Amino acid sequence: MSRTDITVEICGMSGDGTIAAGGLLNDALAEAGFSILAFDSYPAEIRGFGRCITRSRITGTQPLALSDKTDVLISLDDKQSISRIPILRENGAVLFDNHPPAFLPEGESIAAHVGTEMQLFGVPFGDLASGASGSLRGRNLAALGAFASLFGVQAESFHQAIEKKFGPKGEAVLDANLKCFDAGFEYGLKDLDDGSDGLPKLERQAEGSEASLLSGNVAIARAALDAGISLYFGYPITPATPIMEYLAKELPKTGGKVVQMEDEISSIGAVLGSFYAGKRAMTATSGPGLALMTELITHGVMAEIPAVILDAQRGGPATGLPTKTEQSDLHAAVYGGPGDSPRIVLAPSNVLECYQFTLKSFQLAEKYQIPVILLTSFYLDNRVETLRLPSRTETDTGDWNVYPDDDSKGNYRRFEITESGISPRALPGSEGFIFTTTGLEHSERGIPEYGGDNHMRMSEKRHRKIASALPDLPPPREFLKNEKPDLGVISWGPTFGTALEAVEKAQEEGLSVAALKITSLFPYHAEAIGQFMQRCGDILIPELNFQGQLANLIGHLHRKEVIRLNQVTGSPMEVGTIFDKIRSIVD
Amino acid sequence: MKEEHFIIIGMGPSGTKAAITLRKQAPEARITILSKDAERAFTPHMLPDFIAGKILEKDLYPYDPSTWDDLDIHIRRCQRVTDVSPGNGHLLLDHREVLRFTGLILAVGGRPQIPEPYLPFQDLMSTLKTVKDAKQWIEKLEGVDSVLVIGGDLTSLAVAKALLHLGKKVFFLINEDAFWPLRYDMDLMRKVSERLSQGGVEVIPSGKLGGLFRNANGKTQVRIDDRTLQVGMVGTFFGLAPDIRFLARSGFSMDRGILVDEYLNTGFEGIYATGDCAQVYHPGLRDYWVSIGYENALNLGRIAALNLAGRRVQAKVSGESIFKVRGVNVNTSWWVEF
């Protein structure tokens, strides 16, 4: 594999086709055999306001995180892109439209802001698009064409990506987009050749790749399909909506249905109802929706009904920052709701885990008869990675319900107190297995019973059941080079990838640092986490929330106060931020 | 109070020297250098030494990249000026940005010129102006044992010396045609020829280039009068032509270069020209002269900056200025035949 590691950023105004261009770039370079990690950032408004940015890290091997610096900035709107110059490398390259429709006062062109060592490539995006297709709409494609020629990407890779995206829209649309791309490509070959010598070349990787490009959201939706869901209930909310959109197309093909509900309360209610009847279902929402679902989630806990709920976290509280990333629903996911209502909470850290953990959620929900909350975040849901999905096994897709023996027929105790806490669950309508289900505290037969002793025993059973799930949950994973590191960095969600890259960089510099990834947030592997902590001098927990919610959850396992690194800027944490913190602690 | 904004067009030796001088004279002023090229500021006269392997690439760059930030001089590379409006105090960049200035120094330099009879063969000829050109020379020379040098400007002599240093066989076609800014008289031509011959160069007396093509084995076949040469590569050196076409509508007085007075002023207040693109008036001779050479470029750049900053410094030159290059005396020519 090559040592290629280039980050390309496309920046424009809503309506410039920035996100579309980023998607094509990712598809084309994935087709050319590169590994991609890409993330888009856009305003909450639908169109016409604000800045859109796509960042794509293009590497020979799968990157763990976005890089802090940009190598190439493609400006589709100079006013928006000027603010991106500070994160461009000192010798980075800028492609911009050098023939805007009107004369610009000094300072309004990005050319006025590039650094001394940066390379500037003016390309008349608009003129090229207009000449090729009669419309300015293909400016983004002309920009991609110029980029491809400058960086040695084969036009064929982009042609395939363009055909995939625009082919379904008809020949005229496809043709216009191909022409715009080609116009930019040819301009680059003819007019930009002089300055392109020192640029890295993204030539097709010899080994090729069978991996595909998936977003976190699509990986989750694919897993839901592979898990055999019959129903999806949801109410649109950023950043979870793409899951419903994907399933709306794909689920009917397997005989399932997607139902847009009137709100999140009805969505979780319908999911519980579906599982209650023995059919797998799921819902996906974000923080505000999770808040609405809270009571019914605890109903699932009390009535021991499975459910799978995805909480795609965004900036909060309340409606907060709809299109920005954060990890601040951890407390709500673990503790939210009335009473002692233990549930399972998992947090994937990358797109592959989005797929794996979603599959796992259905198994856990069925086996432990409990709502399972998957915690992702805008940064994970909306980013794309190249990966090869593992092939499914029967274990992955099979029925994980624990059914009662025939012996209990006629004397069925739906909430029987067992050593594991798991009471075999009969589906409603099963002959000889009559039971009552209620959100009230109940007896083993499900009859409401408010006695203190009963409540105590039932609470113990529900918590015992959750504790017994621990061996089935993904364990923490250590990344260490020596047994007694000076510092252990513990993180969760997509911030872990960033943390690991920072730790690896620190290890390369000879610092005694280790990393621990935690993906099971409740219940969590206290013993393994505690052992890791005890081996480390200090513990640093970087996370995208203000309160240090993971630190609050597991900090007590360490013999001294854990060090927190919290950020709520709406953006992913940077490798440099964590690395600098590591160095300030260890050096 | 209007902010002072001095713009220098060109990032060659003269332009960069002007910028640095200006910074000392006007610590508070905004200073911008515009360059159409992607390359960093370098020392052109050292390119032959770089080709000869006597110096490293880094030695070509006289300024550390941080110099400009430290001096608060804004460098804008790859940005071509398409028009200057001296009266309005603004200029236009090719990406349609309008820049206002309170003072302007034109230091645009020149581009290698190839006389018209040679134009049909230019794809087979190498020139030398930039670091990139020099790298191409180095690359091409790897598989080459002989080189034909055509022309006779200062660079050609230095390149011939570099080629000899590399052990290449050098043919030198001295062209008696006048080329800017030098002019050979027969006496000088004889002296140069003798010096080159003594150095091991095979000098071909002025002849007519009849044809030039690349043969099957990758060599270049050159026909000069009745003689046919087979060489590895061909270089042409006919001096630099001032790159001032973009000023055609600006109202500056221009001949082959920009005409300036002895203070390097263009006739417009606050606008000066320096370096290869300037033709400087000599009040004693009542004629214009041009300068060549690195040191002269620096000196003119300094004078232009001082005068823009309000000083009154004259660009002095003796009647027959002589430059010594690689042991060969070369006369500058007065601007009479152009």
Query: Which chain A residues contact residue B76 at CB under 8 A?
Result: 111-112, 114
Of A459, A271, A237, A265, the C-alpha closest to A365 is A271
Residue with tokens 């649309």: A173
What sign for the dihedral angle of Cα A138, A142, A148, A154? positive
Query: How far is the CA of B59 from the CAs of B19, B44, B54, B64, in angstroms?
Result: 21, 11, 10, 11
Residue A136, φ and ψ in degrees, nearest 5:
-80, -5
Q: How near does any CA of chain A get to the CA of B217, in Å?
A: 27
- Closest Cα in chain B to A119: B38
Of A90, A99, A117, which is closest to B95 when you measure between CB atoms? Answer: A99
User: What integer pLDDT is reported at residue B176 of this predicted model?
Assistant: 63
Question: Chain B contact for A1, CB < 8 A?
Answer: no
d(Cα B210, Cα A301) in Å, to the nearest integer? 96
Of A583, A584, A541, A586, the C-alpha closest to A566 is A541
Averaged pLDDT, A496-516 = 97
- Pull the structure tokens for residue A140: 């983004």
Tell me the per-residue pLDDT of A287-341, one tens digit each, with 9 for 90 and over.
999 999 999 999 999 999 999 999 999 999 999 999 999 999 999 999 999 999 9
Report the range of poorest mean pLDDT among A118-127, A240-249, B139-148, B324-333: B324-333
User: What integer pLDDT is reported at residue A392 of this predicted model?
Assistant: 81
Q: How near does any CA of chain A get to the CA of B37, in Å?
A: 9
Residue A217, φ and ψ in degrees, nearest 5:
-60, -45
d(Cα A271, Cα A244) in Å, to the nearest integer? 14
pLDDT band with cut points at 50, 70 and 90 for residue A2 = low
Tell me the per-residue pLDDT of A430-485, one tens digit each, with 9 for 90 and over.
999 999 999 999 999 999 999 999 999 999 999 999 999 999 999 999 999 889 99
Q: How near does any CA of chain B get to the CA of A21, in Å?
A: 23
d(Cα A376, Cα A310) in Å, to the nearest integer? 7
Same domain, yes or no: B124 and B180: yes
Question: Chain B contact for A420, CB < 8 A?
Answer: no
A268, A222 in Cβ contact below 8 A? no
User: What integer pLDDT is reported at residue B337 of this predicted model?
Assistant: 26
User: What integer pLDDT is reported at residue B330 of this predicted model?
Assistant: 43
Residue A78, φ and ψ in degrees, nearest 5:
-60, -40
Same domain, yes or no: B144 and B259: no
d(Cα A181, Cα A207) in Å, to the nearest integer? 26
- Do A116 and B94 make contact, defined as CB atoms within 8 angstroms? no
Q: What is the mean pLDDT of chain A?
A: 95
Number of domains observed in the structure of chain B: 2
User: What integer pLDDT is reported at residue B2 of this predicted model?
Assistant: 67
User: What integer pLDDT is reported at residue A15 of this predicted model?
Assistant: 87
User: What integer pLDDT is reported at residue B119 of this predicted model?
Assistant: 87
Same domain, yes or no: B148 and B91: no
d(Cα A475, Cα A473) in Å, to the nearest integer? 6
* Other beta carbons less than 10 A from residue B312's beta carbon: 7
pLDDT by residue, tens only, chain B of 338 residues = 568 999 999 999 999 999 999 999 999 999 999 999 888 999 999 999 999 999 999 999 999 989 999 999 999 999 999 999 999 999 999 999 999 999 999 999 888 888 888 888 888 999 999 999 999 999 999 989 999 999 877 788 889 999 999 999 999 988 765 444 555 566 777 777 888 888 899 988 767 778 888 888 888 999 888 888 899 999 998 888 888 999 999 999 998 889 999 999 999 999 999 998 998 888 877 777 777 778 888 999 999 999 999 999 998 765 444 443 334 434 443 332 21
Query: Which chain B residues contact residue A97 at CB under 8 A?
Result: 95
- Would B337 be classed as within a structural domain? no
Domain end residue (candidates: B238, B257, B289) = B238
- List the end-to-end C-alpha distance of chain A, in Å, as a whole number: 33
- Do A194 and B97 make contact, defined as CB atoms within 8 angstroms? no
Cis upstream peptide for A317 (omega within 30°): yes
Same domain, yes or no: B24 and B38: yes
- Do B95 and A108 make contact, defined as CB atoms within 8 angstroms? no
User: What integer pLDDT is reported at residue A486 of this predicted model?
Assistant: 97
Q: How near does any CA of chain A get to the CA of B70, in Å?
A: 12
Radius of gyration of chain B (CA): 21
- Pull the structure tokens for residue B245: 């076409």
Question: Chain B contact for A105, CB < 8 A?
Answer: yes
Please, is B217 exposed, middle or buried when counting C-beta atoms within 10 Å of its C-beta (0-12, 13-18, 19+)?
A: exposed
- Would B24 be classed as within a structural domain? yes
Would you tell me which residues 70-89 of chain B have a C-beta closer than 8 angstroms to some C-beta of chain A?
A: 75-79
User: What integer pLDDT is reported at residue B336 of this predicted model?
Assistant: 29
Q: How near does any CA of chain A get to the CA of B165, in Å?
A: 28
Of A108, A116, A120, which is closest to B65 when you measure between CB atoms? Answer: A116
- Do B96 and A108 make contact, defined as CB atoms within 8 angstroms? no
Averaged pLDDT, A404-429 = 96
- Would B231 be classed as within a structural domain? yes
Same domain, yes or no: B15 and B88: yes
Report the range of poorest mean pLDDT among A166-175, A444-453, A530-539, B209-218: B209-218
Tell me the per-residue pLDDT of A362-388, one tens digit each, with 9 for 90 and over.
999 999 999 999 999 999 999 999 998
pLDDT(A14) > 90: no
| CATH numbers and ranges of domains, chain A | 5-209 (3.40.920.10), 216-397 (3.40.50.970), 477-586 (3.40.50.920)
Between residues A45 and A346, which one has the greater pLDDT?
A: A346
Residue-number span of the structural domain to which B154 is assigned: 114-238
Same domain, yes or no: B119 and B218: yes
Averaged pLDDT, A503-507 = 96
Same domain, yes or no: B40 and B53: yes
- Would B338 be classed as within a structural domain? no
Same domain, yes or no: B223 and B131: yes
Q: What is the DSSP string of A322-370?
A: TTS-----HHHHHH-SSSS---EEE--SSHHHHHHHHHHHHHHHHHHTS
User: What integer pLDDT is reported at residue B324 of this predicted model?
Assistant: 39
Report the range of poorest mean pLDDT among A395-399, A495-499, B34-38: A395-399
d(Cα A401, Cα A428) in Å, to the nearest integer? 13
* Other beta carbons less than 10 A from residue B186's beta carbon: 8
- Do A197 and B132 make contact, defined as CB atoms within 8 angstroms? yes
Question: Chain A contact for B100, CB < 8 A?
Answer: yes
To test the contact with chain B by mutation, choose from A110, A116, A118 the residue with the greatest count of B C-beta atoms within 10 A, namely A116
For residue A399, give the H/E element and its range. Answer: none
CATH of the domain at B207: 3.50.50.60
Same domain, yes or no: B205 and B179: yes
Question: Chain B contact for A125, CB < 8 A?
Answer: no
Question: Chain B contact for A85, CB < 8 A?
Answer: no
Q: How near does any CA of chain B get to the CA of A563, in Å?
A: 37
Domain end residue (candidates: B238, B256, B285) = B238
What sign for the dihedral angle of Cα A133, A138, A143, A147? negative
User: What integer pLDDT is reported at residue B316 of this predicted model?
Assistant: 76
Question: Chain A contact for B7, CB < 8 A?
Answer: no
Query: How far is the CA of A502 from the CAs of A385, A499, B99, in angstroms?
Result: 19, 5, 43
Query: Which chain B residues contact residue A100 at CB under 8 A?
Result: 95-96
- Do A105 and B98 make contact, defined as CB atoms within 8 angstroms? yes
Query: Which chain A residues contact residue B40 at CB under 8 A?
Result: 117
Cis upstream peptide for A239 (omega within 30°): yes
Same domain, yes or no: B15 and B157: no
Of A54, A60, A63, the C-alpha closest to A25 is A54
- Do B93 and A96 make contact, defined as CB atoms within 8 angstroms? no
DSSP state of B77: -
Q: Are strands B328-331 and B322-325 parallel, antiparallel or unpaired?
A: antiparallel
Same domain, yes or no: B163 and B259: no
Domain end residue (candidates: B199, B219, B238) = B238
Of A145, A154, A144, the C-alpha closest to A208 is A154
Question: Chain A contact for B94, CB < 8 A?
Answer: yes
Of B40, B75, B100, which is closest to A106 when you measure between CB atoms? Answer: B100
- Do B76 and A121 make contact, defined as CB atoms within 8 angstroms? no
Most confident range (mean pLDDT) of A205-214, A258-267, B205-214 is A258-267
To test the contact with chain A by mutation, choose from B11, B85, B97, B101 the residue with the greatest count of A C-beta atoms within 10 A, namely B97
3-state secondary structure of A563: strand
Q: How far is CA B261 from the centre of its chain?
A: 21
Give me the amino acid identity at B23: R
User: What integer pLDDT is reported at residue A208 of this predicted model?
Assistant: 56
Which conformational region is residue A129 in: left (phi greater than 0), alpha (psi within -120 to 50 degrees), or beta? Answer: alpha
User: What integer pLDDT is reported at residue A524 of this predicted model?
Assistant: 98
- Do A116 and B77 make contact, defined as CB atoms within 8 angstroms? yes
Q: Are strands B322-325 and B287-289 parallel, antiparallel or unpaired?
A: unpaired
Q: How near does any CA of chain B get to the CA of A582, in Å?
A: 29
- Do A104 and B96 make contact, defined as CB atoms within 8 angstroms? yes
- Do B78 and A120 make contact, defined as CB atoms within 8 angstroms? yes
Q: How near does any CA of chain B get to the CA of A50, in Å?
A: 23
Predicted TM-score of the model (pTM):
0.88
Tell me the per-residue pLDDT of A66-88, one tens digit each, with 9 for 90 and over.
999 999 999 999 999 999 999 99
To test the contact with chain B by mutation, choose from A81, A106, A127, A199 the residue with the greatest count of B C-beta atoms within 10 A, namely A106
- Closest Cα in chain B to A117: B65
Query: Which chain B residues contact residue A120 at CB under 8 A?
Result: 38, 77-79
A36, A57 in Cβ contact below 8 A? yes
- Do A109 and B95 make contact, defined as CB atoms within 8 angstroms? yes
- Pull the structure tokens for residue B191: 């002296």
Query: Which chain B residues contact residue A90 at CB under 8 A?
Result: 65
Same domain, yes or no: B128 and B220: yes
- Would B80 be classed as within a structural domain? yes
Of A400, A401, A426, A390, the C-alpha closest to A411 is A426
Instruction: Name the percent of chain A lying above pLDDT 90.
Output: 90
Report the range of poorest mean pLDDT among A18-32, A108-122, A203-217, A252-266: A203-217
Averaged pLDDT, A527-554 = 98
Instruction: Name the percent of chain A lying above pLDDT 70.
Output: 98
B18, B8 in Cβ contact below 8 A? yes
A569, A495 in Cβ contact below 8 A? no
